[in-house]
Structure 1
Amino acid sequence: MREKILIVEDEEEIAMLEQDYLEINGFQTRIESDGEQAVELALTGEFDLILLDLMLPGKNGYDICREIRDKVDVPILMVTARTESIDKVLGLGLGADDYISKPFDPAELVARVKSHLNRYERLTKNGEPQNGTEGREKDVIKIDGIEIHTRSWKVFRDGEEIRFPNREFELLKFLAMNPNIVFSKEELFEKIWGYDYVGDSVTVTVHINRIREKIEEDSKNPKIIETVWGAGYRLNR
């Protein structure tokens, strides 16, 4: 079955351009221009990835991302003409996986979509828990009340499950599987996102902050994921 992309965009010319290039490359697409309707569609679970414009009638892209992020695990790529760093930080802080600015090269957009879908598939395709206690134990990383189930793609804090979008989970999992090692923002970006674009440091920082809010007792004074000033981040275990 072909992967299905939800294009949330109110500029018809841009929406059609995105649709044409994605369908040429083998994807199914659906275009929605209204923010309220976009939320309803996103929550159906029919889509493998969401391309989300920021400036929309009804609800803007920030509101949509905030409303669906913890209910929908698929990649969300924000597409916008606004290029200020604060806009990017806000979008990523709400759980968007990536950010591409207008005007964009359609080939780059398709490449980004493919990259996110490929990584999402690799992360989730073996997501069913193994049978037997021995298998489960090997797939669980425990850190100060936090349990990271690497195969079932779940995180628990004191026995209660915490929802993690795919990029946040992949970043937490990587750090947990490489404890007590300092990784620079650039190294983490390369390991988790796998390609270069302007603003990669911001992307890593925002995702680290979102993870801390979920697993640290005090996210402003983190003990599990520590900032090593001038060097990067380290997960203490």
Structure 2
Amino acid sequence: MQQRILLIEDDESISEMVSSYLVKEGFEVKAVYDGEEAERVFRSGTYELVLLDLMLPKRSGTDILQTIRTGSLVPVLIMSAKDSDVDKALGLGFGADDYITKPFSMIELVARVKAAIRRAGYAAARNARIEAAAPARQMINLEGLIVDLDNFTILKNGTEVKLTAKEFHILKLLVQNPGRVFTKAQIYASVWEDEYYGEENVINVHMRRLREKIEDDPSQPVYIKTLWGIGYKLGAEVQ
């Protein structure tokens, strides 16, 4: 069965080029050209990956990404025309899995698409194994922060905190290994389940967004400590 990709790109020439190449690689591609159409089509179908341009008419790419993340963990690969950390951080902070900067080669795009789908498959299989093996609900209390490992929910002082899938798995990795220091390469390998090629910006963006959501003062973190030049560790004690 062909894997389905939703391509959201308002430039028809780029859309046609990407679609043709992906079809040759064995994918089924549904192309849409504006934000409103993208939301409607996504809600009415099932896809293994979304390719999303940030600059769209009618509704922005970030709006679409937020809509997708309200009810789906489908991999989202951002296509950005601007080579800036602002655009990259924005896309990743709202729950994108990866980004590629225009202009890009078709070979690189296909490689990233396949890697994102592969990681999502690994994660789904791993979570299914964990759910099948787990005899009881796992709740971890971190000095006011309650981490529900089974339901993928976070409560801070009784209020639910919304995390993206990647943010949750970073926190989960740390709380399940109190006292252990993880390098950025180890975090990337565990959470993204792929080889690490010095993707420091990806780790930095996710860690910053995670701290903004769970820390009282992200500049003085309590739950996630940085060991400069080494990596990160859990700062709070498990109660």
Give the shorter-chain TM-score range. 0.7 to 0.9
Q: Write the distance in 2 (CA, Å) between the matches of 1:21 and 1:153.
A: 39
Listed one character per residue, the Cα deviations across residues 181-233 of structure 1 (whole Å, up to 9, x for unaligned) are 222334423443324557x2121111112223443344443211112233322
DSSP 3-state at the match of 2:203:
helix
Structure 1: unaligned runs, 5 residues or longer = none
Change (3 A) 1:46 1:12: same
TM-score, normalized by length of structure 1? 0.82
2:226 — aligned with what? Answer: 227
The answer to whether residue 154 in structure 2 is matched with residue 156 in structure 1 is yes
Structure 2: unaligned runs, 5 residues or longer = none
Listed one character per residue, the Cα deviations across residues 96-143 of structure 1 (whole Å, up to 9, x for unaligned) are 1111011212122111111111111221235457479x7125x55553
Shift of 1:52: 0.5
Q: Is the 8 A contact 1:43 1:72 kept in 2?
A: no
Shift of 1:45: 5.5
Alpha-carbon RMSD across the aligned residues, in angstroms, is: 2.8
The letter of the residue matching 1:171 is: I
Q: Write the distance in 2 (CA, Å) between the matches of 1:115 and 1:25.
A: 14
2:207 — aligned with what? Answer: 208
Q: Is the 8 A contact 1:185 1:201 kept in 2?
A: yes
Q: Is the 8 A contact 1:175 1:234 kept in 2?
A: yes
The answer to whether residue 7 in structure 2 is matched with residue 7 in structure 1 is yes
Percent identity (aligned): 38
2:91 — aligned with what? Answer: 91
DSSP 3-state at the match of 2:107:
helix
Q: Write the distance in 2 (CA, Å) between the matches of 1:37 and 1:175.
A: 40
Q: Is the 8 A contact 2:185 2:196 kept in 1?
A: no
Q: Write the distance in 2 (CA, Å) between the matches of 1:131 and 1:54.
A: 38
Q: Is the 8 A contact 1:153 1:169 kept in 2?
A: no
TM-score, normalized by length of structure 2? 0.82
